[in-house]
Structure 1
Amino acid sequence: MSQTRGALLRLTLGLVVGSVALAVVGPRTADAAVTREEVERAIREGVRFLIKEQKENGSWQDYPGDARTGVSSLVTLALLTAGEKPDSPAIRKSVAYLRGFSPDQLNSTYSVALQTMVFAQVDPKTDVNRILANVDWLERAQIRPTDVVSWPGSWSYSIGSRRTNPGDNSNSQYALLGLHAASEVGVSVKPEVWNLARGYWEGAQRADGGWGYHHRDQLSTASMTAAGISSLVITGLKRYQGSEYIEGETIHNCGKGGVNINLKRGIDWMANHFHVGQNFGLGQQWRLYYLYGLERAGRLGGLRFFGEHDWYREGAEKLVHEQDRLSGFWRGVLNEDNSLVATSFSLLFLAKGRAPVLVNKLVHGPQNDWNHDVDDVRNLVNLVSQDWKNLLTWQVVNPAEATVEDMLQAPIVFFNGHEEPVFTAVGERRLREYVEQGGFIIADACCNSPKFHEGFLKLMKRVFPEEEYKLKPLSDDHPVWRAKHLLSPTAYPLWGIEHGCRTVVIYSPKDLSCFWNQIERSDRPRQDTATAVLKAAKVGQNIIDYATGRELPADKLTVREVHDFKADAPKRGSLRIAKLLHAGDWNIAPLAIPNLMEVLRKPPLSFDVSISHKELAPTDPNLIYYPLVYVHGRAAASFSKEDLDALRKHVDPGGGTIFADAACGSPAFDASFRRLAAELFPSNPLVPIPKDDELLSTRVYFDLKDAQYTKAAGGAKDYPQLEGVKINGHWSIIYSKYDIGCALERHSALDCKGYNYDSALRIAANIVIYSTLP
């Protein structure tokens, strides 16, 4: 979020239902100064230090005794999380070393759990038997009700010590992390293990809402409270709560989730005791261990804020400034004076906590109606993460209190409910602004609610009052039906709103979220129920793939730009662009030029431009005041003889320039524009603009040799394929058969053949600048 924006954020806690505690974005008082570039540098330097410290046999300096391989596994996990590839020399050597130890040889809860996390992240198919053996060991190491020691459901240091020593919350959280990693790659864990563990964590919580090192310890600490939050979430995902269940496609007790007050109390405790500079209750002891736990609690809980604190920004700022700039390591106190351990925890926080946010779950009224299915978005995002092979997260946002920049941290917002959705006037305006800046809305009627359905139709009419932006059923040939899975248009009754080049809203009047809520169930449902859940999951994946074009969102610290499209009165001499009216869909990208001109007006370009374009017919006498004319569309464009005469005069001898592109690579527009160019200048046809032309180089402004094509256009990085007509040594017509205009509206659907947003900006900027050259 930009520091120059006005309203900042605070956290208000929402209802905690089932296995999720939720935080809502609102105004706050300060913004951490850390930048994305600083974090990237810190991660690179930390990785460099760890690799430098690796031994010849692939290990790192481990602790002696039962804890052997623990440090090596922790470092390997940190390197993988920080971006080291599984086939890199350092990872290959370390994994080969770790494969030499069975769980019985390790006989350590920490070591077995960390080893499992490494195997699950590197190559779970190859290591499936090792993961199975580790899961079996962790299951056997869990303290049982029949054991002599108390606190069943927890873990101690080893299998042998479970009968002589009580479990502790640190070993217990790492055991769950290992089991969770195994279950994420398809290795099943006994349901009773999750049940016992959840019962333990609920019983171990102190009266103040926090957790200590042992069961109901005398002191709550931040590190153990973070462990309690994430452990409740993990065990909740694997042990379905509430009275809702599905038979076939029928949802019984729909929306009746089980309230988990323990999770809310834990998050309240963390909000009231939050500090990245110390592990509350222990001061500097295990502070970096605590930050890694904090990252996990925030990410798994869908929380961007604890209290008034943006936990990732504040933690990242602290770590970036504490790193040894010369060698790249971190070092804490006492047990964390081991720079390998300290650096690993720091990297895990920085690299994992910055994971891109895919979906914002929106708060709306009536009170708490927005959260009947508490794991719906979480489960869907997890599914997409596994498919895209990249960690993605989600968070809860209140559009009445969050800025547009905050909402743009995710490319998608989702909401549903049973009653009519109620947003404030500010919230409704934010929804419109979010879409105009490139955002996408997904919604469904929870439990097929007719009240929500009718209310949603009214809401969309208020947010998009224009007649051309009507909510209507998606066509049978809409690309959403084939975005990932090939689905029949009868699979779900999806509706949509078209806004410019793209569909910006997809809505299902039939429940999707209740089925998404069941994706992570650990027990095996009936086959017909599994089929219904799978179908809803496929629909959800298709919608997300369509909305994003399978492009990863930027990470958390990337500044989101918000453009001001307010019409301006152009100053004398400022550059103005005319948008050409024609017999076709001439305005399919209404915000393309405002987006472009807003960027041109800001530093470093700082051009004197008019933000708004002027919509003119070719024969309009005012066209003379607009040296650059933009033409765009998806359908075929047609022009009269009078139009052709006026355009020909505008270009030669008038000296004007025509800039055109085919929306999403439309064959219909492409054919019609080629016909237009041939009719304008029969003896001077369109020709490819050479790669060494000044238009594509820094001689104009941007070097365009690495323009990024969309996946639909091949996904390559190369020079843009521009064509032109040169008159008197100047490209007077510049044309792209690949889309530029829709990309300027941040359209990224899988069916759009063109360039991504950044490349489209650079290409269009060069064309605009070139058109002003003498």
Structure 2
Amino acid sequence: MTRRARFLPGILLTLAAAAAMLGPAAAARGAVTRDDVERAIRDGVRFLKQEQRDDGSWQDTNEQARTGTTSLITLALLTAGEKPDSPTIRKALDYLRKFGPHDLGSTYAIALQTMVFQAAEPEKDQVRMAANVTWLEAAQIKRREFAVGCWSYTDAPAGGDNSNTQYALLGLNAAAEAGVPVNPETWALARLYWERAQRRDGGWGYHAGDQLSTSSMTCAGISSLVITGSKRFQGAEFLQGPAIRNCGQGTANSNLQRGIDWLGANFSVTQNFPSGQQWKLYFLYGLERAGRLAGIRFFGNHDWYRLGAEELVRTQDRLGGFWRGVGEAPTVATSFALLFLAKGRAPVLINKLAHGPRGDWNNDPDDVRNLVSVVSRDWKHLLTWQVVNPAGATVADLLQAPIAFFNGHQAPELDERGRQNLRDFVEQGGFILADACCHSREFDEGFKALMKRVFPEEEYKLRPLSDDHPVWRARHLLTPGAYPLWGIEHGCRTVVIYSQKDLSCYWNQAERAADNTAVLLATKVGQNIVDYATGRELPADKLVLREARDFRADPAKRGALRIAKLQHGGQWNVAPLAVPNLMNVLRDRPLYFDVVINHKEMLPSDPSLIYYPLAYLHGRAAFSFNKDDMDALRKHLQPGGGTIFGDAACGSPAFDAAFRRFVAELLPGTPMAPIPKDDPLYKVGFDLSDSQYTKAAGGGKDYPQLEGVKIDGHWAIIYSKYDIGCALERNSGLDCKGYTYESAIRIAANIVIYSTLP
């Protein structure tokens, strides 16, 4: 029996199971999956499209809100993924463009029409949106004592209500995001109205002065305070040219927090408290807005999106694809359901870290919100953010976003658990972005001390970024040193970027001073950091949960598959968790490999190398072996022996050249050759024909570009000039030439399987 064949009995693998591995819902947990939601959305879209009339409209359920139903359905379809040039949307837009604000005369209809124009073709409909803004500004109540700042159904002076008011603000906000100016006084009056209308318990009713708070109107209050707060400055901080005056004197809104607390204490997705099933779907759409705009993943301890998605998937008519609601026609109810499911699942880009001293983490409440909005517009995909406490959260919670944002004025305080969570978050693919709010020296010193405790190793020291660091050109071409950025290199990439100069205060002003030169520069720096950290790859939606891996050493078991990592005279351990990540996947169902999780670090001359059928060799710099090591490796590769698998970290040219010299010296006269696409290696476990390359490697899908040397009919050396190891750690940066994580796992798994075959 060959050394490779000894490991076959420990492998319990079926190719059918392998083909199903790493599908889009593989990481989802709980009663509802991403596939469930995708199916529900598809069926809901199908139902709404079937109900469209020949003129492009849908039947209105309320004649007072003329075209309101058509606008609501069109908005839902666009949010669910229908393109503006699809026949359904094209007909709907042609119909809606026939009506100006004075034809409609309804707050709901005008606001919803504005939201549709902004979501579809905002450049084309600027004039129409401007006319709608003029109508809405004029319709805002300005003279009735308890109603000043709110809206009614029409522009006639009458008592307003909180439902019309929230939709008016949604329409105005959509117009503002499309570049249509809105009078600052409109935002100010609306904000003051919501603050006055809030009940003592923290909630809101349908009217100011109502005796009962309701779930739907409390959601309206939360989202309206966020919208009006981002348009109207909170606190004493302001810009004077490029300088920030009264820096650090911004303030979080206590009314907003009271509303969030009320919703957490009275949370339900099965009813619109206290009215039960009445307008439940309307409430769920409001819940989605409140959670997304306020950066809330949990109201109380309730994961609002997962629970709401479970409820909607459960209550959908599976045959017809629609939802029914008490007081809501199927077309309207289905639209609200689609808006919740499609918009609420938006990927989380940044976790804003809450840390001690109390409240110091939130001096600029709109900083991350505004940065994420800019990135969303740039990427042309809705993204969101959320607040997370690194001490109270799990590593899995932190991994729901690729970036963790950290700032403050005082020295940050994190307990041992919080520090370990940050370390684990980074080691499993996360990235830390931080700035010293108001250039605070105390935070600067405290953050640097914190990083020393999180990363005590000397090689992970916080250092100024070099002038040739890719962050300076990741999105905008910036002059190196435009901001004093520091970083920590960990494995394959920079995992922490820190600015001693304030970024967050400028981001906080982005809605109010978008043309300010200092705001523009800080925003560009933020975009560059985000693009570098993510590689412009979209995070997964909310139902795809990242699993935190525990890489504690496993006891070696007889017959279990083990992988060696070869030490060499270069950067031999660039991706220290590449093999543990791979082995975890191989061990988990449905693959069930019998493996030792951690690799064994060894020199080639180590006599125990004989027990390792696969030896992994990677790095990003030139390397070499001495004569004894080379002799040992030749012996290891003899017929029936082991396999060497190598890859160049992030496509490193230096490592690539060194590896080719290594092979030429190791096996003279047998140069590496491309492994043909019909080779069993590409089919032995997973089908590798659609491997996804990173953007730095050209993007696109194709077979991996593998090379090798055969000995006795077996690929004894397998090499990739494109990165695999860094991708296995989810640590490939914007400039990393290689494969995505999912493809790297499949490629590496096939190489492991192949290396054990006789």
TM range (shorter): over 0.9
- Quote the residue 1:27 is aligned against: none
Aligned-residue offset at 1:654:
5.4
Deviations 1:345-387 (A, max 9, x none): 0111111111111111111111111111111111111111111
Residue in 1 that maps onto 2:36: 38
Ranges of 4+ aligned residues in structure 1 off by more than 6 Å? none
Give the superposition deviation at 1:484: 0.4
Q: 1:489 aligns with which of 472, 480, 483?
A: 480
Deviation at residue 684 of structure 1 after TM alignment: 2.2
Which residue is 1:703 aligned to? 687
Q: Which amino acid aligns with 2:692?
A: Q
The answer to which structure, 1 or 2, has the higher relative contact order (CA under 8 A, 6+ apart) is 2
Equivalent residue, structure 1, for 2:718: 734
Decide whether aligned partners of structure 1 residues 654 and 637 sit closer, same or farther in structure 2, where only a CA change above 3 A counts: farther
State which of 294, 297, 314 in structure 2 corresponds to 1:301.
Answer: 294
Q: Quote the residue 2:508 is aligned against.
A: 517
Offset of residue 169 of structure 1 = 0.9
Residue 286 of structure 1: aligned partner: 279
- The 5 A counterparts of 1:247-646 are 247-333=240-326, 335-336=327-328, 338-521=329-512, 524=513, 530-646=516-632
CA contact (8 A) 2:251 2:363 kept: no
Given residue 739 of structure 2, which amino acid in structure 1 is its aligned partner? Y
- The AA in structure 1 aligned to 2:743 is S
Residue in 2 that maps onto 1:12: none
1:760 is aligned to 2:751: no
Query: Equivalents in 1 of 2:163, 2:242: separation in Å?
Result: 41
Root-mean-square deviation (CA, aligned residues, Å) is 1.5
1:5 aligned residue: none
Cross-structure match for 1:152: 148
Q: CA–CA distance in 1 between the matches of 2:584 and 2:124?
A: 51
Return the TM-score normalized by structure 1: 0.92
Size of the aligned set, in residue pairs, is: 730
Contact 2:296 2:386 in 1 (8 A): yes
1:261 shift after superposition: 2.3
Aligned counterpart, 1:21: none
Q: Structure 1 residue 32: deviation in Å?
A: 5.8
- Runs of 5+ consecutive residues of structure 1 not aligned to the other structure: 1-30
CA deviation digits over 1:415-468, x for unaligned, max 9? 111111110111111011111111111111111111111111111111111111
Alignment pair present for 1:141 and 2:127: no
> Which range moves more in the overlay, 248-257 or 113-122?
248-257
Confirm or deny: 8 A CA contact 1:32 1:314 kept in the other structure.
no
**8 Å CA contact retained: 2:71, 2:112:** yes
CA contact (8 A) 2:251 2:364 kept: no
Matched, 1:99 2:97: yes
Distance 1:560 1:40 in 2: 19
Q: Percent identity?
A: 72
Render the CA deviation track for 1:285-324: whole Å, top value 9, x for unaligned.
Answer: 1111011001101111111111221111111111110000
CA distance in 2, matches of 1:479, 1:658: 32
CA distance in 2 between counterparts of 1:622 and 1:93 reads 71
Q: Please state whether the residue corresponding to 2:459 is helix, strand or coil.
A: coil
Secondary structure of 1:394's counterpart equals strand
- Tell me if the contact between 2:639 and 2:711 (Cα under 8 Å) persists in the aligned partners: no
| Cα deviations by residue, 1:18-61 (Å, 9 ceiling, x for unpaired) | xxxxxxxxxxxxx9622222112111111111112122222111
C-alpha contact (below 8 Å) 1:141/1:155 kept by paired residues: yes
Are 1:32 and 1:317, in contact at CA under 8 Å, matched by a contact in 2?
no
Q: CA–CA distance in 2 between the matches of 1:288 and 1:654?
A: 65
Residues 693 and 739 of structure 2 are in contact (CA less than 8 Å); yes or no, is this contact kept in structure 1? yes
The match for 1:118 is: 116
**Structure-2 residue corresponding to 1:8:** none
Aligned partner of 1:748 in structure 2 is 732
How far the C-alpha of 1:682 sits from its partner, in A, is 2.8
TM-score normalised according to structure 2 size:
0.94
User: Does 1:176 find its partner at 2:169?
Assistant: yes
1:3 matched to which residue of 2? none
User: CA separation in 2, counterparts of 1:346 and 1:65?
Assistant: 22
Contact 1:67 1:111 in 2 (8 A): yes
SS at match of 2:460: coil
* Structure 1 position 246, deviation (Å): 2.5
Closer/same/farther in 2, CA of residues 735 and 328 from structure 1, 3 Å limit: same
- Distance in structure 2 (CA, Å) of the matches to 1:366 and 1:741: 39
Return the offset for 1:149: 7.9
Q: Aligned equivalents of 1:94 and 1:587: distance in 2?
A: 57
Whether the aligned pair in 1 keeps the contact of 2:489 and 2:496 (CA below 8 Å) is: yes
Q: Distance in 2 between matches of 1:75 and 1:98?
A: 12
2: CA distance between counterparts of 1:120 and 1:155?
Answer: 21
**CA apart distance, 1:144:** 2.1
User: Structure 1: how far apart are the matches of 2:640 and 2:657?
Assistant: 26
Where in structure 2 are there 5+ consecutive unaligned residues?
Answer: 1-28
- Offset at 1:257? 1.6
**In 1, distance between residues paired with 2:94 and 2:664?**
65
**Inter-partner Cα distance in structure 2 for 1:632 and 1:246:** 50
AA at the equivalent of 2:369: R
Residue deviations 1:249-294, cap 9 Å, x none?
Answer: 4322211123532212222221222111111122211111011001
Q: Which moved more, 1:304-313 or 1:467-476?
A: 304-313
- Alpha-carbon distance change, 683 to 341 in structure 1, aligned in 2, over 3 angstroms: same
Distance 2:146 2:345 in 1: 39
Structure 2 distance, partners of 1:723, 1:295, is 50
The 10-residue stretch of structure 1 (708-717 or 635-644) with the greater mean CA deviation from structure 2 = 635-644
Once residues 269 and 621 of structure 1 are traced to their aligned partners in structure 2, the CA distance between those partners, rounded to angstroms, is 66
AA matched with 2:264: A
Q: What is the Cα deviation at residue 66 of structure 1?
A: 3.6
**Structure 1 range deviating more: 681-690 or 37-46:** 681-690
Structure 1 residues 175-233: Cα deviation after superposition (integer angstroms, max 9, x where no partner): 10001011111111111111111111112222222211112223221111111111111
SS in 2 for 1:391: coil
Alignment deviations for residues 382-418 of structure 1 (CA, whole Å, 9 cap, x no partner)? 1111111111111111111111111111111111111
Answer with 284-293 or 99-108: which moved more: 99-108
Secondary structure of 1:468's counterpart equals helix
Bigger mean CA deviation after superposition, 578-587 or 214-223: 214-223
Q: Secondary structure at the match of 1:503?
A: strand
Answer with 257-266 or 45-54: which moved more: 257-266
Q: Which residue type is aligned with residue 140 of structure 2?
A: Q
